[in-house]
Homo-oligomer: A and B are copies of this chain.
C-alpha cells in the first residue's frame, strides 16, 4: 500500500546551534531549497505562499496610499549606473555584469539591477515636465541581484525578491513626508501582520543608503538577540535629480529639481518571521500571514463518518479562515509534527468521540494549549482564536525584545553588556563617525538606528565622553 513517509526528523535545538536551527527550519518546513547557482535560492511553494501574503498586504497599502506599480528593465547600462557618484561607489563592487548577448560581446556592459534608482530617475527625467506631473509615486515588485560572498536563505542571498518604491515630489517637505509615511506603512505591517515589534529610527551617516540624504529603518530583534534591518525608507532630496537632471516647471514657470525617495522590503522578512517566532518544533506563523491558518487532522479516520464530518467542518470553516485538511493515510502523530514544523497556527482534531460529543479539539501552535469547542460555535471560535494567537505572538515577541534591550551609561558597562548579553544596547552618542567605528572595534556592534523615541540616558557620548547628541540603538546584526 505505498511507502509510508517517515516521521519528520527532529531539528537542531535553537540553544545548541541557532544558525543550524534556522537552516533546519527553512529546509524541513520546505520553505527553500538550494539551487545550482551559488547563493541563489529556490523558493518552494510554502515559502512562496508566505511571500504572496506579504505582497498582497503591502500592495494593498501601497495602492491605498496612491502608489502605482510599474516594471523597469532588469538591466542597467554601466554609464547609467555611474551617474550618481555615491550610488555607484556603494553598489558597483557587488553587481553581476552581463557582457555578452547571444554570441556577441556587448559594446557596453550591463549590470543586473541591484536596485533601480538609476532606471527610475532616467524615466522620471523624461516624463516629468510640470508641477502637474507631480508627485509620481511608483513601486515595482521584482528580483534584484547583489554578488554576496557569504549567503543564507532569505537573510542574504545573491538574488532576492523585493519591492522598491520610487517617488518624485515637488518639495523637500513632501519627500520627507513620503519617506516617513512609508516607514510607518512598513512598521505597521511588521507589527500588525507579522507580529514583529520594531524600533523606528534613522540610520547614521555611516550606515545610510548609497546616494541618500537620510535613511530611515525599522529594526527588529531576533530570538538569538541579533538585530535585523527589516525595511528601509530613503530620502534622496535632490541628490539624484541633480545627477539625472529631473526638473519641472513650477507654477511660476521656474525650473525646479524634484525631491525623491525610495523604500524597500524583501524576502528577508520571511527570515525574520522564522527567527522571531520559531521554536524547537519548527516554524510559527502569525495567523494573518499564514497560508493555512487551520489544519484539520481527523482522528481514527477509518471509522465511519469521521472523514465526512471533517470535510463538512472544512467547508464551514473555509468561510471564516484559510483551512486545510489532511486525510492521507499517514499517522496522526506524523501529521501533528508536520504541521507544527510548518507553523500552522491552529490544528483541529476531530474523531469519533468528538463527533459523539458534538465537539472538536483546537490546538494552538504558539502555546500548545488545547481547547475543546462545541461544533456549533466554530465560525465564532476560530476567528477569535486566530486573533488571540496573533496578539499573543506579538506580545511574546515584544516581551522578548524588552527583556533583551539594555541601557549603558559608560563604555565599560557597554562592553560588558556586548560581551555577555545579546540584544539591543541603548547608549548616547556624540554623532562622530570615529566613535561609531570605535564601538564596532571594541564591542563588535554597529549602530542600528537613532530611534524616533529618544531617551536621555546621560549627557555624554558613551565612547569619547564628549557632548551627547542622540541616543542610539546598537547591536550585532544579520
A residues contacting B by CB (< 8 A) are 2-3, 5, 33, 35-37, 40-45, 48-49, 51-52, 68-77, 80, 93-103, 110, 112, 119, 122-123, 126-127, 130-132, 138, 142-143, 145, 147, 158-159, 161, 249, 251
Pair A123/B37 contact, Cβ less than 8 Å: no
Tell whether, in the assembled complex, residue A73 and residue B122 are in contact, meaning their CB atoms are under 8 Å apart. Answer: no
Interface of A is mostly: mixed
Query: A73 touching B249 by the CB < 8 A rule?
Result: no
Q: In the bound complex, how far is the Cα of B142 from the Cα of A34, in angstroms?
A: 19
Residues of B near A43 (CB, < 8 A) are 70-71
> What are 12 contact pairs spanning A and B, CB under 8 A?
A33-B127, A35-B72, A35-B73, A37-B110, A42-B70, A42-B72, A43-B70, A74-B74, A75-B159, A95-B101, A102-B147, A112-B112
Task: Assess A42 versus B123: contact at CB under 8 Å? Given A2-B251, A48-B69, A159-B73.
Answer: yes
- How many monomers of this chain does the complex have? 2
B68 contacts A119, C-beta separation under 8 Å? no
**Known A36-B80, A93-B102; 11 more pairs at CB < 8 Å:** A2-B130, A5-B132, A35-B123, A49-B69, A74-B143, A94-B102, A96-B100, A97-B101, A98-B112, A101-B158, A142-B143
Which of B2, B93, B94, B102 makes the CB contact (< 8 A) with A132? Answer: B2
Tell me whether B101 and A98 are in contact (CB under 8 A).
no
Residue of B35, B74, B76, B147 near A159 (CB, 8 A) is: B74
Of the candidates B49, B68, B101, B159, which one forms a contact with A45 in the assembled complex, judged by CB atoms under 8 Å apart? B68
Nearest B-chain residue to A97, judged by Cβ: B100
Contact of B103 with A138 in the complex, beta carbons under 8 Å: no
Which residues on B sit within 8 Å (CB–CB) of A143? 71, 74, 142
Kindly list chain B residues whose C-beta atoms are within 8 Å of the C-beta of A77. 36-37
Instruction: Give the Cβ gap from A210 to chain B, nearest Cβ, in Å.
Output: 15
Complex Cα–Cα for A48 and B68 (A)? 9
Interface centre among A98, A99, A145 (most CB of B within 10 A): A98
CB distance from A38 to the nearest CB of B (A): 9
Query: Closest chain B residue to A98 by CB distance?
Result: B96
Alpha-carbon gap, A249 to B37, bound state (A): 28
Our pick among B52, B70, B100, B251 for the contact of A69 (Cβ within 8 Å) is B52
The 8 closest A-B pairs by CB, nearest first: A40-B73, A45-B68, A101-B147, A43-B71, A97-B100, A102-B147, A99-B99, A37-B75
Chain B neighbourhood of A3, CB < 8 A: 130, 132, 249
Contact of A73 among B37, B95, B123 (CB under 8 A): B37
User: When the two chains form their complex, are residues A96 and B101 in contact, meaning their CB atoms are under 8 A apart?
Assistant: yes
Q: Chain B residues near A5 (CB, 8 Å)?
A: 132
Contact status B99-A95, CB under 8 Å? no
Q: How far is the CA of A69 from the CA of B95 in the complex (A)?
A: 27
| Cα–Cα, bound, A33→B70 (Å) | 11
| A142 CA to B102 CA, complexed, in Å | 21
CB distance from A39 to the nearest CB of B (A): 9
CB pair B100 A131 closer than 8 Å = no
Query: In the complex the two chains form, is A2's CB within 8 Å of B75's CB?
Result: no
User: Which listed residue, B69, B97, B103, touches A99 by the CB 8 Å rule?
Assistant: B97
Q: Give CA–CA (A126, B131) in the complex, Å.
A: 56
Residue of A75, A77, A251 with most partner-chain B CB within 10 A: A75
Q: How many Å lie between the Cα of A101 and that of B33 in the bound state?
A: 22
Q: How far is the CB of A49 from chain B (nearest CB, A)?
A: 7
From known contacts A36-B77, A37-B77, infer whether A100 and B103 are also in contact, taking CB-CB under 8 Å: no
| A48 and B73 contact, CB distance less than 8 A | no
Give the contacting residue for A161; candidates B37, B51, B71, B161; CB below 8 A.
B71
Cβ–Cβ < 8 Å partners of A93 in chain B: 102-103
CA distance A102 to B92 in the complex (A): 7
